[in-house]
């Protein structure tokens, strides 16, 4: 049995598509960071994406937890040629492509980027390889967390996209002894 406590990193305030672009997080809301830290299981291992917005958020909420796993596998979806560009800019040159990417998530990928299914397989592989029983705190990105909600609820990707995941929120997913996932909370603000 495992409990995964997914924490979305602090805000970047970017108004563009930010996947693998390494922007820093705004960690100035120390009261919210303290509430998140206090809400999470104290002895759980702490894992994070290797992007600074997740890594620095993990360091801020660490407390007594050991932050010993920093992995590129937990990165946000890679937007490829669309990285750090606004939706409007990309739509102006590739309207049908970007519309299909968001409306029919699955195998459609941005140029030189990755599809939703690729992200989902990458994150599923990381989670499935973590077989130590007990709680895990993972600091990651919107797409990563939504992919695991999709998994837990057995939803099509498009339906999973409807879930809002705020910065510095906690999503708690539980894997039982039969390897079945259950949602405890989504987008919780301690």
What's the whole-model pTM score?
A: 0.96
- Kindly list the catalytic residues: 9, 76
Burial (0-12, 13-18, 19+ Cβ within 10 Å), 33: middle
52: Cβ contacts below 8 Å, ≥ 6 apart:
22, 23, 24, 25
Kindly report the CATH number assigned to the domain that includes residue 172.
Answer: 3.40.50.1240
Number of domains in the chain: 1
What is the share, in percent, of the chain residues with pLDDT greater than 90? 91
Q: How far is the CA of 154 from the CAs of 116, 146, 149, 159, 160, in angstroms? A: 15, 12, 8, 10, 9
Per-residue model confidence (pLDDT) at position 49: 98
Q: What is the pLDDT of residues 10-58, one digit of tens each?
A: 999 999 999 999 999 999 999 999 999 999 998 899 999 999 999 999 9
Q: What is the pLDDT of residues 125-150, one digit of tens each?
A: 999 999 888 999 999 999 999 999 99
Given the structure tokens 């195998």, which residue do they identify?
107
User: Which phi and psi (to 5°) does residue 21 adopt?
Assistant: -65, 130
Q: How far is the CA of 74 from the CAs of 97, 104, 126, in angstroms? A: 25, 23, 8
Q: What pairing do the DSSP bridges indicate for beta strands 2-8 and 134-140?
A: parallel
Range of the domain at 61: 2-188
């Amino acid at each position: 049995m495992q409990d995964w406590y997914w924490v979305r990193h602090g805000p970047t305030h970017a108004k563009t598509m930010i996947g693998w672009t390494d922007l820093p997080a705004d960690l100035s809301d120390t009261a919210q960071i303290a509430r998140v830290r206090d809400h999470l299981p104290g002895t759980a291992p702490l894992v994070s994406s290797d992007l600074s917005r997740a890594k620095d958020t993990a360091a801020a909420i660490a407390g007594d937890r050991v932050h010993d796993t920093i992995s590129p596998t937990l990165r946000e979806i890679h937007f490829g040629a669309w990285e750090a560009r606004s939706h409007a800019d990309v739509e102006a040159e590739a309207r049908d492509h970007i519309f299909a990417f968001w409306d029919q998530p699955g195998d459609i990928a941005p140029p030189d980027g990755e599809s939703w299914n690729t992200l989902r397989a990458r994150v599923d592989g990381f989670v499935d390889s973590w077989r130590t029983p007990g709680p895990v705190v993972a600091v990651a990105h919107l797409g990563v967390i939504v992919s695991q909600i999709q998994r837990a609820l057995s939803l099509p990707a498009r339906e999973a996209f409807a879930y809002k995941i705020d910065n510095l929120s906690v999503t708690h997913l539980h894997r039982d002894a039969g390897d079945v996932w259950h949602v405890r909370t989504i987008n919780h603000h301690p």
